[in-house]
Structure 1
């Protein structure tokens, strides 16, 4: 079987033409401009013209769903590719999304026509990450624009140790994307890891190690050597007093 024959390439172009004919041409003002898989794939298959016109553009009249505090859902940009539905069900196991309607009226639906906030959505962000257009888009990206660089890091919300790509625009954190090669999470995330990153720039964030001798004592800033030494000393004291093996 060959996947690169002239006939197959022509079929790919035809499918892409159908997608583009039913997609709004606002790429320059789209939040995902420069990182839109639909744009990228149109170039990959060599699409140069759309024979069907753009009469189907924005055929879905449903209002934008902004109910979720972390991301927006714009039906007018949806190409009903089902990637978000698969990510929600087969990958994340939430089964909060489905394809509603038939034929030209097919569209992504959260539950039985509910808003994302009222549906079974747990705001894990798997659907947002899978979306090839800006149908599902983080509010932080809409506000700050697309990130320009990324750094692989470890989520600090709990002790599981999930890996993320912290995506930044300059020194400003725009979004956190689960890292597929992360040993602890393998591309999965919870709502806190994906969206609760405000602590990174919060004015009350503790930036230096702090220790105290008693719970009633105030915290005091120390250097890292002293902090690590204090932890090691107290762990040794616990071992001496309680033993190093579990009962």
Structure 2
């Protein structure tokens, strides 16, 4: 039997993930062109400022969720074979983690430790002690954060293309494989969507729908955590 994964291990993996998520999220919501920005619902635009917090969260789920869910579903082209590999869970957990960091931001939660606790509770059903989640900001964590953020850490103006999305989601998701035994706890889509995902070729459609549904469930669990209903 594999050794149980400790809360300390969870924190060690999630802290650089959470820190790297910030520049990645900035890149994800950056427009390709700035013309007519005032009429586009993107963070920082006039249209965005006119929206309330729930609308902001819906934007993250629907606009960014389309991109992350599509990339996450790509391994489904192999049907059941891909589902037996950790690729699907790694990419899915990475996308869900990014969404949770975006939701935390909409609630004004910038503290890394609190975001770590949110991710641990929603994705892994872990109630992490605040002192443990606060961690230590050392060189090793800094290096891992920079590695996960990749090109978005150093080049703030770089666009988040589909290729960059795939590369970044996998890079960040691969870091979560250090706690792979916990990934299966993450919110998932409905059983019939997952069943469709087991089929060759058309499995991509099932996995796409399942990941989209999973993102919505992540948002609901995040709302429960943020409202204090942590059961």
User: What TM-score, normalized to structure 1?
Assistant: 0.24
More helix by share: 2
More strand by share: 1
| Higher Rg | 1
Higher relative CO (CA 8 A, sep ≥ 6), structure 1 or 2? Answer: 2
User: What TM-score, normalized to structure 2?
Assistant: 0.25
